[in-house]
């Protein structure tokens, strides 16, 4: 156990005061700090009861952050899974992802359409790297109007 933080709930609250954490992330942090499994589980249960930690709130925070950063749904799902949160807890409408993909493309390449197949593929790779689905990429690059 860490000499600086003998109480796992105090340690966890200090972490949560800085930013949201998923339950799995907090469990890992407390485990690395040297706390026992029973201490960690009881602390996390208490934090959830008191609404200090909530995976749904964490998912919403991460969703807003990834949208602001210009990332797509695949990236967000991957990040949520890494944090031990069920990606289905977050529902962002498909139309928002379409708008997001268009904004990311416009920010990187401007408003001009791709001049040839090579440029189209370059833009598709960019959007795929940002975590957008192939359907969204095709719709954005082909200039399809919103159907939602």
Q: Are residues 27 and 62 in the same domain?
A: no
Q: Are residues 74 and 122 in the same domain?
A: yes
Give pLDDT tens digits for 109-134. Answer: 998 889 999 999 999 999 999 999 99
- Asked whether residue 148 is domain-assigned, the answer is no
CA dihedral of residues 59, 63, 65, 68 (deg, nearest 10)? -170
93 has a pLDDT exceeding 80: no
Give the percent of the chain with pLDDT over 70.
89
Q: Are residues 68 and 131 in the same domain?
A: yes
Q: Output the average pLDDT for the chain.
A: 89
**Domain tally, the chain:** 2
Band of pLDDT at residue 145, cut at 50, 70 and 90: low
Give pLDDT tens digits for 25-63. Answer: 999 999 999 999 999 999 999 999 999 999 999 998 998
Domain of 131, in residue numbers: 58-141
Q: Are residues 39 and 110 in the same domain?
A: no
Please report, for residues 17, 28, 89, 126, the alpha-carbon distance to residue 83 in angstroms, rounded to integers and kept in the order given. Answer: 18, 10, 13, 25
pLDDT of residue 94: 64
């Amino acid at each position: 156990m860490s000499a600086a933080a003998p109480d796992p709930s105090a340690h966890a609250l200090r972490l949560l005061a800085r930013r949201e954490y998923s339950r799995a992330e907090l469990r890992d942090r407390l485990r690395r700090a040297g706390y026992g499994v029973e201490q960690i589980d009881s602390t996390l249960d208490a934090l959830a009861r008191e609404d200090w930690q909530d995976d749904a709130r964490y998912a919403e925070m991460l969703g807003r952050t990834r949208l602001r950063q210009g990332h797509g749904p695949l990236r967000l799902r991957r990040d949520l899974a890494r944090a031990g949160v069920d990606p289905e807890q977050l529902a962002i409408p498909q139309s928002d992802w379409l708008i997001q993909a268009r904004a990311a493309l416009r920010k990187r390449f401007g408003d001009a359409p791709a001049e040839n197949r090579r440029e189209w593929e370059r833009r598709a790779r960019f959007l795929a790297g940002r975590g957008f689905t192939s359907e969204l990429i095709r719709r954005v690059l082909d200039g399809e109007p919103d159907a939602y």
